[in-house]
Chains A and B, each alone.
Chain A
Amino acid sequence: MNVTVNGQPRELPAGATVADVVELLDVTPGARGVAVALDGEVVTRSRWPATELRDGALIEVVAAIQGG
């Protein structure tokens, strides 16, 4: 299936979850300071492994930067 992760198209196997996407991005262990939105809604960390993606899903994976 085809999804969009942080604006980039990605091809993922059927059944891929939010946790799989986070792992793909090579996030630091524990994904500290990372949050995920799926189709504009926040997915809490505890639901990452169980949240399966659908074809066309929009995933945003964000982290802290300097700002403000």
Chain B
Amino acid sequence: MIWVSWRQHRSEALGCLAVLIGLAIYAVMVGTSMRTAFGHDGLASCLASGKGAAGCPNAVMTFTNDFGSEVNIAFWSVALIVPGLIGVLVGAPLIARELEFGTWRLAWSQSVPRARWLAVKLVLVSGGLVIVGAAMTAVITWYRAPMDQLTGRFQHNIYDFEGLVPTAYILCAFGFAVLAGLLIRRSIPAMIAAFIPWLAIRLVIEFLFRPHFLAPLTFTCGANNCNGTNGGYGISAIPPATGHIGDWVVSQTRSGFLYQPADRFWTFQFIEAGIFVALAAAALGAAVWLLHRRAA
């Protein structure tokens, strides 16, 4: 079954490898010049000196303008859909292709019961997707490392691409697509039927639930310390009012704001990845159970 799974999914594996190589080439090119600029502009010493020696705000601004730390809608929307696309492209045909081409009669009449056939494939393909997700995350994290020192990792377009969540997003889309492929029995409609709820859940969790995974802390502004800050993520021009790079302000209050401190990054990553992995496991479990129970 290992060989069968590999043979049936090797073109998808090669496709993922090609995407990874493209991403890595881009990351090395931009990441290298980013590192050079980081050294040139003396940003390391700026960070060390905390609230800023003379010239630091300008240096930071030049750097972030050149390399785009701001939430860039175009980049973010690509970043948003790519894990979902990978998941549904690999997941939807897994069962639907067998049903479309009639090869289920061949696949399920060998000496391996269909539920086991599916379970083995799901374990192996999910494993492959975890490797792809982890590799993509590693490349992006390496490339973003200098910028992350200035901005922290809680911004939407950074958080969504580092740590554990990108891999969990891929697995969730994969799980939805496998189940949709079994129910709808056609690959392309199954891709669409899986992608839409995946995207909806993804956005609802990001914008409605993520700010409240843990109770936010309260920051009360003193006489001067909120002036001229966006209270926001990075140090961009001026270090954040809370004094920590990467603190995430989730809402304003009359006397200050509520924020999630930067050191909750990994806790939040575990919570969000856990939600998506659980959704993936539920969908895949349902697919195995349904295939075992019902006549195709």
> Do the two shown chains form a genuine complex with each other?
no
